[in-house]
């Protein structure tokens, strides 16, 4: 299964809930790249500049990373991709790898949120590195005793979010059409509380 949506659509929050229910690994290209940056691996060093600026990391780097990850044993019974694919070459590489392994993508879930809401969502977003929970300073405030340990992503500035939105409309929109043409895309309105969006996703997945 694949989760697609603009930056700040709520993919991370909803993916965490879905994988709990479906018992499959949550594979987030953004999380994997951030871990590589933190560890200072060659891939992380190469990706850091692109990420800080809100630009896409080159396809060959991301494709290699994800194909290696989905070949691991814990993904043998399914997986949830979050943030990948974001371009047509990525979608085609995934499709080819799945076909040659005898598997298929079941569902692609598109979480839609108007651009006007996304900058506020990103600028106020804070991640808890201990539990992985994603908060928002206004819409989903964190408990006071953990505020000190929360992390604000370097690319959650208004400038980088606008750049990410630009890449989303240029590169990811054709990817959405790719899955629409395959008949496996489901659209979900991502405006509302996390619980409201989860309820819509449950309905969409049943269809
Ligand atoms: P995310 O956590 O999905 O918002 O991703 C954060 C950043 O990581 C993006 O703005 C890109 O710089 C990079 N990134 C994550 N996934 C991809 C991908 N599939 N293709 C290219 N760059 C990616």
Structure confidence at residue 60 (pLDDT): 95
Q: Which sequence positions are flagged as catalytic?
A: 11, 86, 125, 153, 164
pLDDT of 177 higher than 90: yes
pLDDT of 207 higher than 80: no
Structure confidence at residue 206 (pLDDT): 84
Tens digit of each residue's pLDDT (9 = 90 or more) over 26-44: 999 999 999 999 999 999 9
Whole-number Å distance, alpha carbon 198 to ligand 1 midpoint, is 23
Query: Of all protein residues, whose CA lies closest to atom 5 belonging to ligand 1?
Result: 30
pLDDT of 97 higher than 80: yes
Tens digit of each residue's pLDDT (9 = 90 or more) over 98-145: 999 999 999 999 999 998 899 999 999 999 999 999 999 998 999 999
pLDDT of 176 higher than 90: yes
Average pLDDT rounded to a whole number, residues 53-62: 94
Average pLDDT rounded to a whole number, residues 13-18: 92
Per-chain mean pLDDT for the chain: 94
Structure confidence at residue 55 (pLDDT): 92
Strand partners, 82: 3, 28
Phi then psi dihedrals of residue 163, to 5 deg: -65, -40
Average pLDDT rounded to a whole number, residues 50-64: 94
Whole-number Å distance, alpha carbon 171 to ligand 1 midpoint, is 12
Strand partners, 63: none
Q: How far is CA 64 from CA 15, 61, 97, 165, 179, in A?
A: 22, 5, 11, 24, 21
Helix (H, G, I), strand (E, B) or coil at 187: strand
Query: Of all protein residues, whose CA lies closest to atom 12 belonging to ligand 1?
Result: 51
| Ligand 1 neighbours (beta carbon < 6 A) | 7, 29-30, 33, 50-51, 54-57, 62, 83-86, 90, 155, 164
CA distance 16 to 10: 10
Phi-psi region of 23 (alpha: psi -120 to 50; beta: other; left: phi over 0): left
């Amino acid at each position: 299964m694949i989760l697609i949506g603009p930056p700040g659509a709520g993919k991370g929050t909803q993916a965490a809930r879905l994988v709990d229910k479906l018992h499959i690994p949550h594979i987030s290209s953004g999380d994997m790249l951030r871990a590589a940056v933190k560890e200072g691996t060659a891939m992380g060093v190469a990706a850091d500049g692109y990420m800080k600026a809100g630009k896409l990391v080159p396809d060959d780097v991301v494709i290699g990373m994800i194909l290696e990850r989905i070949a691991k044993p814990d993904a043998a019974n399914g997986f949830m991709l979050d943030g990948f694919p974001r371009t047509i070459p990525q979608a085609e590489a995934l499709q080819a790898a799945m076909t040659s392994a005898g598997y298929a993508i079941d569902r692609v879930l598109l979480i839609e949120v108007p651009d006007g809401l996304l900058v506020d969502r990103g600028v106020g977003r804070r991640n808890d590195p201990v539990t992985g929970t994603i908060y928002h300073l206004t819409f989903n405030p964190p408990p006071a005793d953990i505020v000190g340990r929360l992390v604000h992503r370097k690319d959650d500035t208004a400038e980088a979010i606008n750049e990410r939105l630009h890449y989303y409309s240029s590169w990811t929109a054709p990817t959405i059409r790719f899955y629409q043409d395959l008949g496996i895309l489901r659209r979900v309105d991502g405006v509302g509380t996390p619980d409201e969006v989860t309820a819509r996703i449950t309905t969409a997945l049943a269809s």
